[in-house]
With several copies, the nearest count.
Chain A
Amino acid sequence: MKHEVIIAGFGGQGVMVMGQLLAYAGMAEGKHVSWMPSYGPEMRGGTANCAVIISDEPVGDPLVSEPTAAIMMNSPSLDKFWRGIKTGGDLILNGSLIEKEVGRNDIHRYRVPINQIAVGLGSEKMINMVALGALLAAVNIVSPERLLSCFAKKFAAKPAILASNTAAFQQGYDCVAKRTL
C-alpha cells in the first residue's frame, strides 16, 4: 500500500507540521515515509505545501504529482492541486475558506468547516488537528491512535494542549466518519 498525500494552505496554517505528524505516525507504524516541503521565499504570505508518502516499500520519488489524498486549506491551494488527485482519491476541503465547487466526481470530496470547528473549540490554532482527523476518517493512512500518540510525543513539552487537540482531531474525524458534513 502506498499513500501519497498533499497538504496545502497559507504559510501560517501549519500545513508543514501536519505533514510531519502524519509522517511520524507512518514511521511509528513501521512504514517507509518521506516528507517533502515546498520551500523558498515565495512561501511568505503565499501558499505552502508538503507532500507525504507513507508506503510499504521504500520511497522512490519523494515528489507527489498525483496524490491519493489531499488536504486543501485554502482556495489558491485547491486551484493548484485539484486536477492532480488520483481517481478514487480523497480530498479534504476547508469549507471555512473555500467556497467554490470541485468539478470532479471521480474522487471523494469532504467539505469540512475546519476553521469554524477549531474556533468553536477555542482556538484557530487547532485547525491542523481538525484537518488530520478528517483525513484519517476518510482514508486509513495511519491509525488515529498512532497519530494522537505522535502528537503527544511531539508536544510532550506542552501537555496542556493535548486534550483540546485530541478533541479537535475527533471532531474533524467525526465530521467525515459520521458524515456530519
Chain B
Amino acid sequence: MSNKVFARPRALTDVATHYCPGCQHGIVHRLVAEVIDELDIQRKTIGVVPVGCSVLADQYFNVDCQQAAHGRAPAVATGIKRVHPDKVVFTYQGDGDIAAIGTAEIVHAAARGEKITTIFVNNAIYGMTGGQMAPTTLANQITATTPKGRQEDSAGSPIQLSEMLATLRGAKYIERVSVNSPAQMAKAKAAIKKAFETQLSGAGFAMVEVLATCPTNWGKTPVEATRWLNENMLPQFPLGVYKNANEV
C-alpha cells in the first residue's frame, strides 16, 4: 500500500485504551509518544503513571513504566532518576493526583530541580472515582462532592499549579497548553518536547499542564466538552509559558 502519512507512534503499544469516548487522555498519550519517538528515547525512557484514569497507561506507553501510589509519582520518579541519571524519566498525573494529595511531592520535585518531566492533565475533576471535586475544579462547578457548585468560601479556590510551581528556582520549564484543536495540539506537543529537552539538557524540572476534557464526569458529549473547556477553563487557567529558565 502507499505511504502512511499519519500513523500510530512507536512509543504507543497497540492496545485499546479503557478511556471513555472522547476523553482527551488519549490525545495527550499520543503527543507524549510522538515526542518520545521524535527524540528517539523510547529505549531509555521510564514512565511513572499515577492513580487516576491513566492508572493503566503503563499498558499504553511502549516504554518501561512504574505505577505510583496516589500523588507520589514525583517521588517515585525521583527514586528512579537518582538511580538512572542517564535515563529519561517522566510522570503522567491528573489534577487530583498532582495538586491535591500529591502537592508536597510535586512542589519538592520542582524545588529540588529534579531532572524529570511531568505531564499534568488538568480536567478539573476526579475522573476515575466518578467526578468529585478536584483542586482545579472551577468556582461554582458542580461535581459529586459540590452538588451546589464549588463554593469558594468553604471549598476553596482552584489552584493554578503552573503559576505556583513557577515560583520555585528548581523549576526550569513550565507551560500550560490545551489540546482542543489540532493547532493547540501542535503547541502542546512542542511544549512537551521542550519539557523533555529540559530534562535531556540536565537543566532541571519541567512540567507541561495540559487542560483536558472529561466528558463523562462533566456530563457532556465530547464535542460539548471541548466547548465547555474553552469557555470555562481557559479564563481560569490561561495558556502560556510560566517558566523558561533554560536555553533549550
Chains A and B directly touch (beta carbon < 8 Å): yes
Q: Does A104 contact B (CB under 8 A)?
A: no
Taken together as a complex, chains A and B put the C-alpha atoms of A171 and B110 apart, in Å, by 59
B18: chain A residues at CB < 8 Å are 41-42, 44-45
Q: Does B21 contact A (CB under 8 A)?
A: yes
A44: chain B residues at CB < 8 Å are 18, 20, 216
Closest residue on chain B to residue A45 by CB atoms = B20
Inter-chain contact B128/A45, CB cutoff 8 Å: no
Instruction: Count contacts between A and B, CB distance < 8 Å.
Output: 10
A42: chain B residues at CB < 8 Å are 18
Q: Does B80 contact A (CB under 8 A)?
A: no
Q: Does B53 contact A (CB under 8 A)?
A: yes
Inter-chain contact B128/A41, CB cutoff 8 Å: yes
B20: chain A residues at CB < 8 Å are 44-45
Taken together as a complex, chains A and B put the C-alpha atoms of A171 and B127 apart, in Å, by 39
Q: Mark out the residues of chain B between 202 and 248 whose CB falls within 8 Å of any chain A CB in the assembled complex.
A: 216
Taken together as a complex, chains A and B put the C-alpha atoms of A45 and B53 apart, in Å, by 14
- Smallest beta-carbon distance A12→chain B, Å: 11
The size bracket of the interface on A is under 10
Taken together as a complex, chains A and B put the C-alpha atoms of A171 and B18 apart, in Å, by 36
Closest residue on chain A to residue B127 by CB atoms = A41
A41: chain B residues at CB < 8 Å are 18, 53, 128
Taken together as a complex, chains A and B put the C-alpha atoms of A27 and B118 apart, in Å, by 52
B128: chain A residues at CB < 8 Å are 41
Taken together as a complex, chains A and B put the C-alpha atoms of A53 and B190 apart, in Å, by 56
B53: chain A residues at CB < 8 Å are 41
Closest residue on chain B to residue A39 by CB atoms = B130
- Smallest beta-carbon distance B22→chain A, Å: 11
Taken together as a complex, chains A and B put the C-alpha atoms of A165 and B193 apart, in Å, by 55
Closest residue on chain A to residue B129 by CB atoms = A41
- Smallest beta-carbon distance B123→chain A, Å: 14
How does the 8 Å CB contact mask read for B107-132 relative to A, with 1 for contact and 0 for none? 00000000000000000000010000
Taken together as a complex, chains A and B put the C-alpha atoms of A147 and B216 apart, in Å, by 31
Closest residue on chain A to residue B217 by CB atoms = A44
Closest residue on chain B to residue A44 by CB atoms = B20
B216: chain A residues at CB < 8 Å are 44
Taken together as a complex, chains A and B put the C-alpha atoms of A41 and B131 apart, in Å, by 11
A45: chain B residues at CB < 8 Å are 18, 20-21
- Smallest beta-carbon distance B68→chain A, Å: 18
How does the 8 Å CB contact mask read for B1-35 relative to A, with 1 for contact and 0 for none? 00000000000000000101100000000000000
How does the 8 Å CB contact mask read for A29-50 relative to B, with 1 for contact and 0 for none? 0000000000001101100000
Taken together as a complex, chains A and B put the C-alpha atoms of A45 and B216 apart, in Å, by 10
Taken together as a complex, chains A and B put the C-alpha atoms of A42 and B53 apart, in Å, by 11
- Smallest beta-carbon distance A74→chain B, Å: 16
- Smallest beta-carbon distance A39→chain B, Å: 9
Closest residue on chain A to residue B23 by CB atoms = A44
Taken together as a complex, chains A and B put the C-alpha atoms of A41 and B128 apart, in Å, by 6
Closest residue on chain A to residue B56 by CB atoms = A41
Taken together as a complex, chains A and B put the C-alpha atoms of A44 and B215 apart, in Å, by 12
- Smallest beta-carbon distance B129→chain A, Å: 8
- Smallest beta-carbon distance A38→chain B, Å: 14
- Smallest beta-carbon distance A46→chain B, Å: 8
Q: Mark out the residues of chain A between 19 and 73 whose CB falls within 8 Å of any chain B CB in the assembled complex.
A: 41-42, 44-45
Taken together as a complex, chains A and B put the C-alpha atoms of A41 and B21 apart, in Å, by 14
Having A41-B53, A45-B20, one finds 8 other A-B pairs with CB under 8 Å, namely: A41-B18, A41-B128, A42-B18, A44-B18, A44-B20, A44-B216, A45-B18, A45-B21
Give me the interface of A with B, judged by CB distance under 8 Å.
41-42, 44-45
Give 7 closest A-B pairs by Cβ, nearest first: A44-B20, A41-B128, A45-B20, A44-B216, A45-B21, A42-B18, A41-B53
10 contacts across the A-B interface (CB closer than 8 A): A41-B18, A41-B53, A41-B128, A42-B18, A44-B18, A44-B20, A44-B216, A45-B18, A45-B20, A45-B21
